[in-house]
Amino acid sequence: MTNPTFDVIIIGAGPVGENVADRVVQGGLTAAIVERELIGGECSYWACMPTKALLRDAAALRAVAALPGAGAAVTGDLDVSAVLRRRDSFASHWKDDGQAAWLESAGVTLFRGEGRISGTRQVSVVDSFGASQTLDARHAVVIATGSSARVPEVPGLAAARPWTSREAASTPTVPERLAIIGGGVVGVEMATAFSAFGTAVTIVARDGLLPAIEPFARELLTESLCAKGVSLHLSTEPTSVTRHDSGLVHIDLADGTAVLADEVLVATGRMPNTSRLGVESVGLTPGDWLTVDDALLVLRDGAPVEGAWLYAAGDVSRRVLLTHQGKYQARILGDSIVARAQGAALDATAWGRHAFTADDLAVPQVIFADPEIASVGLTVAEATRRGLRIRAVEYDLGAVAGASLHADGYTGRAGMVVDEDRGVIVGFTVVGPDVAELLHAATIAIAGEVPIDRLWHAVPAYPTVSEVWLRLLETYGRKS
């Protein structure tokens, strides 16, 4: 019996896999996609969309409260049940009928089950009933299986049934006390969300809060969390965790203190979903991140897997663990596979030059805490580490006319990092209420390598918060 054959087979139907499939079909190829969970992946059901839905109501309430007239019209507390219902709607109630219908309309064939690489250009699929079939690819197999929450090996932690980001994003109830292990993006966003729900939140963070961001943004966030009553245990870590018969979780810390909570959320990083992929069949190690070149071909011992047919994109490649970057990789990867299938030579050098900018030099990220933090490019510390001759300037965002109109007592700050030798911006960070929409202007300036001298002619409208760009340029123009 002949195996079903497609031009391209994608393992993983999250945003990355969906985008690869869509691009290759638009390019005239056939595509099959294999998914063992929900079509749409982590972002749709347990990350980007439901978590931001958890955060939005409280952010809107804070914005209203910062205006005297609007604030006077608000009575009562946040309706947590309504927030959770809206969250459920954004997660499509954890059903993927709509996503499945989209795949069908896009001309992509779906196979539900666990996909494993079983040979060159070959994927076996085992469905939920244990039935197996093998699919053949004419041109390429793409691994887009993403990542999962990593649970550290702390004595008693696994047995305490901890939450990961999935449980935090999908919980039907709100605990009275929540302990969060980890001070990264998930940790601070969930601390923001649950503290607004009335939960007593404690963060335990060995490396502090958001250690990779600019210090001025971290300081404002720390002050805000403390003002919300979030208890911070920094520069320490759990040594043991016990969940008692009562359900209470007891966490002993290295500094001799202890934390009691109803639930404990582990937010200490991610691990690749490669342990059950069959990558050992091509000489790779299950459970490891996949190394790729600038064409996103999977490498073994520094060279593409023999035949140059195996690709990886998104989290699993560890280039950038952000949904929008994975989708960016997927679009270019899909077009590259189509070009090669049609006989065109893959110009990895040109692709890699632009991908290096997007995946390394101009990565945008928004942390939807209170206050919001938006950044793109290099921090001062990272630019210095790379040996750039830089000048960094900052400006009080609250002193911008548009910000003072936006909210009474507006507090925020913006900073940019300039490569003095090239005369271009290489980093931008802004912190404050509702700053996320300021970010794309900075992303364009960095990705496009727009000279500082040219940016003077990009005039911000008055009175908007975007006027901070003019103030940063004026500050930069004043020689210290």
- Tell which of 268, 292, 317 closes a domain: 268
432 within some domain: yes
CATH number for the domain that contains residue 389: 3.30.390.30
85 within some domain: no
Instruction: Compute the distance between CA of residue 386 and CA of residue 389 in angstroms, rounded to an integer.
Output: 9
- Tell which of 241, 268, 295 closes a domain: 268
Per-residue pLDDT of the chain (480 residues; tens, 9 = 90+): 689 999 999 999 999 999 999 999 999 999 999 999 999 999 999 999 999 999 999 999 999 999 999 999 988 889 999 999 999 999 999 999 999 999 999 999 999 999 999 999 999 999 988 999 999 999 999 999 999 999 999 999 999 999 999 999 999 999 999 999 999 999 999 999 999 999 999 999 999 999 999 999 999 999 999 999 999 999 999 999 999 999 999 999 999 999 999 999 999 999 999 999 999 999 999 999 999 988 899 999 999 999 899 999 999 999 989 999 999 999 989 998 998 888 876 554 455 555 556 788 899 999 999 999 999 999 999 999 999 999 999 999 999 999 999 999 999 999 999 999 999 999 999 999 999 999 999 999 999 999 999 999 999 999 999 999 999 999 999 544
Residue 456 tokens, joined: 């003077």
Distances (CA, A) of 236 to 18, 228, 436: 41, 21, 31
Cis peptide before 172 (omega within 30 of 0): no
Tell me if 308 sits within 8 A of 121, measured CB to CB: no
CATH number for the domain that contains residue 131: 3.50.50.60
Tell me if 144 sits within 8 A of 330, measured CB to CB: yes
Cα dihedral: 188, 191, 196, 200 (round 10): -150
**283 in the same domain as 230:** no
pTM score, whole prediction: 0.93
The burial of 75, by beta-carbon neighbours within 10 Å (0-12 exposed, 13-18 middle, 19 or more buried), is given as exposed
Short-list 62, 202, 32, CA closest to 134: 32
- Tell which of 268, 292, 323 closes a domain: 268
**443 in the same domain as 311:** no
**275 in the same domain as 259:** no
**For the chain, how far is it from start to end, CA to CA, in angstroms?**
76
For 301, the 3-state DSSP assignment is coil
Q: How many residues in total does the chain contain?
A: 480
**381 in the same domain as 310:** no
Q: Which residue has the tokens 């952000």?
A: 322
**229 in the same domain as 167:** yes
Distances (CA, A) of 258 to 189, 201, 204, 241, 426: 23, 14, 10, 10, 42
> What's the domain range around 316?
5-45+91-148+271-360
**438 in the same domain as 340:** no
**278 in the same domain as 264:** no
Instruction: Compute the distance between CA of residue 275 and CA of residue 281 in angstroms, rounded to an integer.
Output: 12
> How many domains does one find in the chain?
3
279 within some domain: yes
456 within some domain: yes
**350 in the same domain as 385:** no
**12 in the same domain as 144:** yes
**97 in the same domain as 222:** no
71 within some domain: no
**450 in the same domain as 388:** yes
407 within some domain: yes
Q: Beta strand pairing status for 238-243 and 231-234?
A: unpaired
Residue 77 gets which letter from DSSP? -
**313 in the same domain as 203:** no
239 within some domain: yes
243 within some domain: yes
